[in-house]
Structure 1
Amino acid sequence: MVRGQLVRTAMEVRDGHRHGRLKDPVEAECERSCGGDGEEGEHARAVLLGEWGFSLEELYSLALRFFREKEGKAFHPLYEEKLRLVALHKQVLLGPYHPDSCPEVGFFDVLGNDRRKEWVSLGNMSKEDAMTEFVKLLNKCCSLFAPFVTSHKIEKEEQERKRCEEEQRRRLEEEEQERRRQEEERQRREEEQRLQREEEERRQAEEERERLEQQKQQIMVALNAQTAAALNKQQEVTAVAVSAEARRSAVPPGAGNGLTANGAPAESLDKEVELDSVGELMENSPRGPVFTVNLHSAPAATTPLITAPSMWTRPQIKDFKEKIRQDPDSVITVGRGEVVTVRVPTHQEGSYLFWEFATDHYDVGFGVYFEWSDSPSTAVSIHVSDSSDEDEECEGQSEEEKAQKLASKPQVDEVVPVYRRDCHEEVYAGSHQYPGRGIYLLKFDNSYSLWRSKSVYYRVYYTR
């Protein structure tokens, strides 16, 4: 009996909270911004996604993860806010409330009845509107949700940057491979053309050799024919001489000598004429071709403006921190979500900047930039900022004012990109040659850490 009275009293108190009060301002704002499926709801979602830098599904997934992990630990929402968040999650997961798709809730299940009524009150709200309202309500309930999303946004941008760099590297490799393939194809064609030319030259040389051989054979045949004719003539002359010897007694002395003396010179003259004709044929033979070679020179390379830094680590972290503790100005605290920038102007007597740093128990992000501005002072200064400083500075400014402010800033070049360093295990050190007159910006980045501050022990100095 007493238990029944307590249950009825709890239900009356619950109904009084549900029906005897004005609508909660958070719920009213969410209904105004996301209550319809028309152009206003689409515009509100577009503005929300533009502010956070994620798609609606990604942003809702981050919000749901944050709610499950941090609810009751990092933040404590009101009873009505938690009911609203649970109902919106069911609306996204299962759609509008339908008795057939949900189990019956007992009469004494106060929490279950409240959740069901809150779910029923959403009506036919679309999935996109429910996700948008969930994100907005969670952001109203907990101030830590915005830094949580910002850290994931930075991580996403870093992953996107690495992906773009990987695609660029892969594209350059493909272009280099294509260039090499074309170069190999060009060399192959040139080699084929060279072999074809050599083959054509060998063929022409062979044809010329065969032609000369044929000419030689023809000349030999002609010479043999002339030699045979000369022998026949010699035989005739000999026969005439024999006949003349037989008639010597009848012929006057010296008559036969004239015939014999005139035969030999005639034969000799014919042979000289034939040999001269052979020499003329040999002199008129064609000569070999002449080849030329062209040489080309390669272009010269250029050098970058800023040289690459030198970085190393050493294990003597305990001795290093003990020495740095003696100078309180060399120990800085980087708060959670903060970025501390140590500005070190270049010295007119120096040419290199050296830096060393370490932390106590946790890592910290570190990077080096060079600002091209001439500082009248050589003193080291420290600037502390967080992830929301830049957004607050840009609020209320027009695009023209933002452009003028950006143009008035000095040029800044990256020397060492900001990455998380395990400086709680080793001392991180490095050096860089001055590119000119300016200011070095040593950034200690703790924006990714929402819960811990970091103590940084650092030392900077210049050398000639």
Structure 2
Amino acid sequence: MSVIVRKNSSNDERSVNPAATANNQTSGLNGVASDDADTKEIWDLLPLPDLYSTVVEIYRKVKDQIKMDYHNRVLLLAYYKQEKYGSYGPEKDTNTGYFDLVGSDRRKKWKGLGNLSKEDAQREFIKLFEIVSGGKLKEWINQKLEEKRMQEQIRIFQMVQKKIDNGEIPIHLLQAAGANLRSILSSTNNGDVADGGANIQSVSELLKRVETSNGGTAVLAASLWCKPNAAREFIEQIKDGKETRLVVGRGETVTVRVGTSDDAFAIFWEFVTENYDIGFGLSFIPEPSDPDEVSTEYELLPVTRRDCSVDIVMGNHQYHTKGTYLLKFDNSYSLLRSKVVYYKVYYHKPTL
């Protein structure tokens, strides 16, 4: 028996009847006001504050390389000032000199924004820059995100190297990984992604296998893989089940809580979406041995966006103690779309 908990943008949590969830959609964040059709897909890439900061980074890098008329350049600067300082005031604009014509025009635009909110200033900056970019902004954002992902892979690579050198990764886990990590590390050109991206990913997966312990209770990391091009077949097989369909509203996170089974030793899960991606993460809360003991939540898989409208995302985890799994379906980054998830959870029992 699973329990479903919804969490929307206002941090309101509530238990939900799975059968009722199948046919009812719960709204989370309101959509972005007055979006242009060409920019709608951009809002799903990141939460608004992160999206804005990413777009500003891109703007600073390409502003001198793209054609931008004077009016739009000044207006972008005005939106930037409004977002950073709020409504115009002389005390906030001390750097504009008497002969600074650009600064004077920017000040007029800034004044004209009135009491425009910080969030609306962010949105207007993004929408205007999308127009100025000639429709290339989404591509630039994805390139920036990929760049950051590679930087994170290199960071993980360096962390594993340090842990191995310091003897912090137990030898039995290195053996269980089925790979000579020192060979992988030495063959990857100091984390050069172009030549060693696959090896960095292998190292990243190994790091996730390192166990943590609390009072002698070992919690091993989970496994995750995909079954290609099988999503439509999966939906047809399970679509009639009452507890297999989940609607995750826009701006919402839904957590499915599943307890361990006494006569099994592993839990498995599979899920797909009707369309688009969904964030997914997995945590485990061991059952305390002492009723007065505070429960500890272990993050087995961090919440990460998964493209699962074509492939089935599958995974498992072996447990050695009683507890509760938290399967987290995250749509908090999407301001415009709800996501329909089909999933199933089952146990693996020992063979007699």
State the TM-score bracket (shorter-chain normalisation): 0.3 to 0.5
TM-score in terms of structure 2 length: 0.46
Which protein, 1 or 2, shows the higher relative CO under an 8 Å CA cutoff with sep ≥ 6? 2
Larger radius of gyration: 1
More helix by share: 1
